[in-house]
């Protein structure tokens, strides 16, 4: 059966010291508790190595928020997938809408990033989702289909099986406006169907599809109760243990 996953996306928040404190607090709060999902925190690059030392990698797992689309070399300021892996991180968020919108990341660039992440044994948490105008024009299915097709559908079935998908409607991110559980279920089922057409039902059924966009303690349970919603990618509510923990416990 596919995994339930709650992943925090810290974005550009927390100094190193604050981040280490948050990671420690979360590890302590969850240690010894039975939860019905994998818990991942995705932190800024500079936090990774230190945070890796204060979590056990099982109770709380570690990921980055991005990686470069190049292997190594003269790319000032970039951080490669191999570097991310060398910190002990096991996951990497790729294709977040903020990266697409503010840093010009195209599906072609993301295809390279996914390839390099997989080569370095990082599990991509691959984000897709439409902007408000696309939703209003009823184009959301078309948009997410082209995002997965262009960035991911050249992968072998084996490699695709390693991907976690995150549906994040851009209009819901950081806005306090969540997709309704029905909207989430509808498009998650469509995404799973799209995967099934390409890779078969078995691969599609094993693919975790997370919802992201103003998910919080108040709406997580209802969102996660949908058959095709396998967890959440959590921004704002991942920055405090007492906001994040109830989301983990919503499963
Ligand atoms: P949010 O962010 O929970 O703050 O809306 C989610 C995300 O961007 O991953």
Task: Please tell me the distance between residue 164's alpha carbon and the centre of ligand 1 in angstroms.
Answer: 16
Give dist(CA 198, CA 177) in Å, integer: 32
Task: Please tell me the distance between residue 100's alpha carbon and the centre of ligand 1 in angstroms.
Answer: 14
Per residue in 168-186, pLDDT tens?
999 999 998 899 999 999 9
Q: Which CATH number fits domain 5-248: 3.90.180.10, 3.40.47.10, 3.20.20.70, 3.40.50.10700?
A: 3.20.20.70
- What average pLDDT does the segment 21-36 reach? 97
Active site residues: 96, 168
Residues in contact with ligand 1 by the CB-under-6-Å rule are: 9, 168, 173-174, 212-215, 233-237
Give dist(CA 178, CA 84) in Å, integer: 31
Instruction: Please identify, by atom number, the ligand 1 atom nearest to the C-alpha of residue 173.
Output: 5
Q: Which of 7, 99, 233, 243 to mutate to test the pocket of ligand 1 (most atoms within 8 A of CB)?
A: 233
Q: What is the pLDDT of residue 1?
A: 85
Closest CA to ligand 1's atom 6 = 235
Q: What is the pLDDT of residue 53?
A: 98
Instruction: Please identify, by atom number, the ligand 1 atom nearest to the C-alpha of residue 212.
Output: 6
Q: Is the pLDDT of residue 124 over 90?
A: yes
Q: What is the pLDDT of residue 177?
A: 87
* Helix spans in the chain (H): 16-30, 48-52, 81-86, 97-102, 107-119, 132-136, 140-152, 157-160, 181-199, 201-206, 220-224, 241-248
Averaged pLDDT score across all residues of the chain: 97
Per residue in 174-217, pLDDT tens?
998 899 999 999 999 999 999 999 999 999 999 999 999 999 99
Per residue in 132-168, pLDDT tens?
999 999 999 999 999 999 999 999 999 999 999 999 9
Task: Please tell me the distance between residue 9's alpha carbon and the centre of ligand 1 in angstroms.
Answer: 7
Q: Which pTM value belongs to this model? A: 0.98
Query: Domain residue spans in the chain?
Result: 5-248
Decide the pairing of beta strands 123-128 and 209-212. Answer: unpaired
Token pair, residue 119, equals: 């080569």
- Work out the burial of residue 248: count CB atoms within 10 Å of its CB; fewer than 13 is exposed, 13-18 middle, 19 or more buried: buried
Paired residues of 42 in beta bridges: 9, 63
Task: Please tell me the distance between residue 98's alpha carbon and the centre of ligand 1 in angstroms.
Answer: 10
């Amino acid at each position: 059966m596919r995994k339930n996953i709650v992943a925090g996306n810290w974005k550009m928040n927390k100094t190193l010291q604050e981040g280490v404190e948050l990671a420690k607090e979360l590890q302590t709060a969850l240690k010894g508790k039975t939860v019905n999902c994998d818990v991942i925190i995705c932190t800024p690059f500079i936090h990774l190595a230190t945070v890796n030392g204060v979590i056990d990698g099982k109770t709380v797992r570690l990921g980055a928020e991005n990686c470069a689309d190049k292997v190594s070399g003269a790319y000032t300021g970039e951080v490669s997938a191999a570097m991310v892996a060398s910190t002990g991180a096991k996951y990497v968020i790729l294709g977040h809408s903020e990266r697409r919108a503010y840093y010009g990341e195209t599906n072609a660039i993301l295809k390279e990033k996914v390839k390099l992440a997989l080569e370095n044994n990082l599990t991509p948490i691959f984000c897709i989702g439409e902007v408000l105008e696309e939703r209003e024009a009823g184009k959301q299915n078309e948009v997410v289909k082209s995002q997965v097709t262009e960035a991911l559908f050249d992968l072998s079935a084996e490699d695709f099986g390693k991907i976690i998908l995150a549906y994040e409607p851009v209009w819901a991110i950081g806005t306090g406006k969540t997709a309704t559980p029905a909207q989430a279920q509808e498009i998650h089922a469509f995404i799973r169907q799209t995967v099934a057409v390409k890779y078969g039902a078995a691969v599609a059924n094993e693919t975790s599809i997370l919802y992201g966009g103003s998910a919080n303690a108040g709406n997580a349970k209802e969102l996660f109760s949908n058959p095709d919603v396998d967890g959440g990618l959590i921004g704002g509510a991942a920055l405090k243990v007492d906001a994040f923990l109830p989301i983990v416990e919503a499963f």
